[in-house]
Structure 1
Amino acid sequence: MHESDALFTALRNLGSADAVRAIQDLVRDGSDEELARTNPLSVAAAAGLPEDAVIATFLHAARLGLFEMSWNVLCPHCSGVLNATTTLKTVRESHYYCAFCDAAEELHLDNQVEVSFTVSPRLRHIGAHDPGGLTFWDYHRQVFFGSGVAFPKRAVFDALAQSCMLETLEVRPGERMILTVQLPESPVVLFDPITHTAHLAAVEGEPTVERQDLSILFDSLHPNVGRSVFRPGPLRVSFDNRTQERALLGVYRAGPELDEMIGGRRPFLTAKHLLSNQTFRDIYRTDTLDVDQRLKIMSLTFLFTDLKGSTELYERVGDLVAYDLVRAHFRLLHEIVASESGAVVKTIGDAVMATFTTPDRAVSAALRMQDSMRQLNAERGAEDLTLKIGLHEGPCLAVSLNDRQDYFGQTVNIASRVQNLATSDSIFATEPILLHAASADLLASRHIGSRPWTQGLRGIGDRVPVFELAASDV
């Protein structure tokens, strides 16, 4: 049996059969570009499969060595990869700078860190495994840009590239070269994606026939950006590559053709999304963040539950029966959270803390939890299991606590206190949850209304409006 056959056999025992088939097809028929930074969301969309099943299967594939998982810090403007690493532990800078866009951005995990997968050479060798041999554009498409860039079809891409590119040049390590270009009456960007060296040239004034000069040094110590003003006309550029890698210089005419060539976008797997994926948390339970890391998330939805009266339950039905009931309750909650694209962060006694990337997923999970607990009680002919649920959305920090990936911040505190307001079989939610369009649509479809809660949250007062969700009279 070929090694790849054995690996896929192992993967079929862990992941979705349909997702495994889609990945096999991709490995066999996909382009090098598709396999260099594979986007699981695109694979799911192309195959018509649930995103969670495809993501989970890619995670198992990475664990088995079929793919290599990469955490890529992106420029939010051009989606260029500013830093690529095999673990989130090495993402430590609070701000990242893109020389191509001349922009510095504060790092957050919502859409500035993507997770992509590169096929292992054990399955198939692609150009990105030897980036030093890639052509100018193949390097950009396979290595520099993230998986969320939707390039035009190749013929259109080539036409746009010809229109917006003045020149391309490869400068080997230790080489010095001279290039002459004719500057148009528009801004020009000179950029190397390997060393992240850029020069931004404003082109102003009357055209000239006199030669203008520019010197560019490639230095791998840090991204280097220069700025100059030239007149339309001839420009002689001298290059000095003092790094241990080649430089791939592109001279771009800024304008609509460049924007169209690299401006297409598609959904991609974000770090925020993956951290709230149950399969990821199960596989990488203690290997996500270092103890001293603090990574910002702009928006995450928290769901807290608590089982009311569990102490009385143990006294009433006995330890063995109560223990089995509590375990059944945890199993139901875990299954519901995972099916709604969320993840259980931890359990605290009889309580659960879970996260979701969007409020509507959390609302759906809360309603299903409530229905499931009622059904479980009905099957038993008792009302012993009463679930209190609280929901809140907002910014937070991804951290490592007690050897596991966790979250910290006021949003977490508020969500916990919102749950504490519930006194029985009820769901309490804050205003950000209800104002989310998809959440509002879901509640309306279930004929569930909201009643303002007049009591303030402990330590927060009335600064956070809270509402109880209940069936409306309609």
Structure 2
Amino acid sequence: MSEVDVLFATLRHAAGQQTADCIENAVRNGSDRDLNRINALAFAKAHDLDEEKTIAGFLHAARIGAFEMTWNVLCPGCGGVLDSGTTLKAVDRESYHCALCAAGYEPTLDEMVEVTFTVSPRVRRIAAHEPDRLPALEYYRQVFFSTGVDLPDDLEERFGRILLEMIELDPGEKAFVSVQLPPQFIIIFDAVTHSAQFIDVQGEPTGERQNLSMVISRGHTPNETETLRPGLLRLTLENHTDRRVLPNVCIAGDDLHEILGRRRPFLTAKRLLTNQSFRDIYRTDTLDVDQRLRITSLTFLFTDLRGSTALYERVGDLAAFDLVRAHFRVLHEIVATETGAVVKTIGDAVMATFPSPDRAVTAALRMREAMLRLNTERGSEDLLLKIGIHEGPCLAVNLNDRQDYFGQTVNIASRVQNLADPHVILTTEAIVGNERVCEILRDSGITSVSRMEELHGISREVKIFALP
């Protein structure tokens, strides 16, 4: 049995037969392009797989060395990859600048950081393992643009309609290019260094030759927009880097926006951090101690057992411990199946995160039913579960050697849970105002009851909604 056969046998054991078979088939029979920066959500859709099982499959594949996982910082405008690293620790800047869009952004884990998977060279070598040897447009497709940009299959043909010139420059090379400028907005852009020059072509056509020079370097700073007239341009391009560069001159009009405007879902860092498989596999290697990464919206669910001290007194330590452990096992399973992750347990309490409010509410309803069922089976009311849910912005941080969360959203969710009575789920307006949550409550025949509450450490009253 070859090393690759052993790897995929291991993957089948960890990730399941169907998911592992699809990944193995892609590795053995897919194109080179298909195996570079795989979008796990698109892969799941293409192979009719469950998304969570697919994500878990690629995580396990990365863990055993069959794939390499990368974290890519994206421009929310054009969808270009502004930076890339092998761990989330590489996202270490307060802001990122996109030269193509001439805009700067503070990185957030919601939609600005994607996670992709590339087949390892030990399993199969593909062209993208040597990106500087990719054809120019393949470099743009496979390296510069994120997997959230749904580039057309006929990219070459469509890009050719707006492309005035594209050349390759080796390290230290200089080139002179003659370009006929139409009366439109023109961009000179290199996908390797992200160097850009904008040209606003306007006015009457000129018969005189116009000249423009552009130096492509690693420390390239944005240039002011040049205003030129329609007509001939003699363009001088100089590569001051130690890599091949790929500058192109194109028309920045509706055709370009149409090429880049088609988007599709991709695996965000936020979603991966709320994935139980990821937390289980990479629990100690996610963030540096000093990192503070912003998430604009995350849903927190807190649970606790009321009267657990009395439970230990009533049934004895051993029986109570077994019962509490059974309760934890059920909650962990429910959180994982609703695309959430348990961040930590504190005594008899659980802190979990979900990518959206509807997943958290569904999990809470299932938790309540599960505890009621366990109590019925035991013929007692030993498990009195209190649940609180809130959604909002937060920071992803590293606390006590664990990837954790910090901020007022976390505090409010915890305080809301403290107010809950057994078997009653308490939420905030941010939760019940969610459209999908409204549908879930309506389908379940649940009518929320609201009241204003003062929460410890919160300066304002908060509207609380009980889901009886």
Common fold by TM > 0.5: yes
Q: In structure 1, the residue corresponding to 2:26 is in which secondary structure?
A: helix
1:222-267 Cα distance to aligned partner (Å, 9 max, x none): 4544421111111111111111011101111011211222221110
Query: Is the contact made by 2:84 and 2:90 (CA closer than 8 Å) also made in structure 1?
Result: no
Q: TM-score, structure 2 length as denominator?
A: 0.98
User: What does residue 64 of structure 1 align with?
Assistant: 64
Separation in 2, partners of 1:184, 1:402: 60
- Describe the shift of the 1:30–1:262 C-alpha distance in structure 2 as closer, same or farther (beyond 3 A): farther
Separation in 2, partners of 1:14, 1:223: 47
Query: Is the contact made by 1:166 and 1:253 (CA closer than 8 Å) also made in structure 2?
Result: yes
1:285-304 Cα distance to aligned partner (Å, 9 max, x none): 11000110000000000000
Counterpart pick for 1:263 among 258, 261, 264 = 261
User: What does residue 229 of structure 1 align with?
Assistant: 227
1:105-156 Cα distance to aligned partner (Å, 9 max, x none): 11100000000001111222111101111111000111111111111122xx
How far has the Cα of 1:78 moved from its partner? 0.9
- Describe the shift of the 1:146–1:459 C-alpha distance in structure 2 as closer, same or farther (beyond 3 A): same
Matched, 1:363 2:361: yes
User: What does residue 424 of structure 2 align with?
Assistant: 426
Separation in 2, partners of 1:132, 1:280: 32
* The 10-residue stretch of structure 1 (133-142 or 223-232) with the greater mean CA deviation from structure 2: 223-232
Q: Which amino acid aligns with 1:33?
A: R
Q: TM-score, structure 1 length as denominator?
A: 0.97
1:340-362 Cα distance to aligned partner (Å, 9 max, x none): 00000000110000000000000
Matched, 1:406 2:404: yes
Q: In structure 2, the residue corresponding to 1:139 is in which secondary structure?
A: helix
User: What does residue 178 of structure 2 align with?
Assistant: 180
How far has the Cα of 1:461 moved from its partner? 5.3
Query: Is the contact made by 2:72 and 2:81 (CA closer than 8 Å) also made in structure 1?
Result: yes
User: What does residue 30 of structure 2 align with?
Assistant: 30
Query: Is the contact made by 1:70 and 1:85 (CA closer than 8 Å) also made in structure 2?
Result: yes
Separation in 2, partners of 1:425, 1:452: 16
Q: Which amino acid aligns with 2:422?
A: S
User: What does residue 15 of structure 2 align with?
Assistant: 15
**Which ranges of structure 1 fall in alignment gaps of 5 or more residues?**
none
Q: Which amino acid aligns with 1:339?
A: T
Listed as ranges, the matches of 1:45-444 within 5 Å are 45-154=45-154, 157-444=155-442
Separation in 2, partners of 1:388, 1:92: 38
How far has the Cα of 1:457 moved from its partner? 1.7
Q: In structure 1, the residue corresponding to 2:15 is in which secondary structure?
A: coil
Query: Is the contact made by 2:453 and 2:461 (CA closer than 8 Å) also made in structure 1?
Result: no
Q: In structure 2, the residue corresponding to 1:394 is in which secondary structure?
A: strand
Report the RMSD for the aligned CA atoms in angstroms: 1.1
Query: Is the contact made by 1:297 and 1:398 (CA closer than 8 Å) also made in structure 2?
Result: yes
Separation in 1, partners of 2:70, 2:223: 27
Number of residues of Structure 1 aligned to a counterpart in Structure 2: 468
How far has the Cα of 1:16 moved from its partner? 2.2
Identity %: 57
- Describe the shift of the 1:33–1:223 C-alpha distance in structure 2 as closer, same or farther (beyond 3 A): farther
Q: In structure 1, the residue corresponding to 2:319 is in which secondary structure?
A: helix
How far has the Cα of 1:365 moved from its partner? 0.3
Counterpart pick for 1:459 among 425, 442, 457 = 457
Separation in 2, partners of 1:433, 1:5: 47
Q: Which amino acid aligns with 2:41?
A: L
Separation in 1, partners of 2:131, 2:210: 34
Q: Which amino acid aligns with 1:23?
A: I
Q: In structure 1, the residue corresponding to 2:188 is in which secondary structure?
A: strand
Separation in 2, partners of 1:141, 1:63: 27
Query: Is the contact made by 1:194 and 1:248 (CA closer than 8 Å) also made in structure 2?
Result: yes
**Which ranges of structure 2 fall in alignment gaps of 5 or more residues?**
none
- Describe the shift of the 1:89–1:208 C-alpha distance in structure 2 as closer, same or farther (beyond 3 A): same
Q: In structure 2, the residue corresponding to 1:201 is in which secondary structure?
A: strand
Query: Is the contact made by 1:342 and 1:354 (CA closer than 8 Å) also made in structure 2?
Result: yes
Q: Which amino acid aligns with 2:315?
A: V
Q: In structure 2, the residue corresponding to 1:171 is in which secondary structure?
A: coil
Counterpart pick for 1:448 among 446, 449, 456 = 446
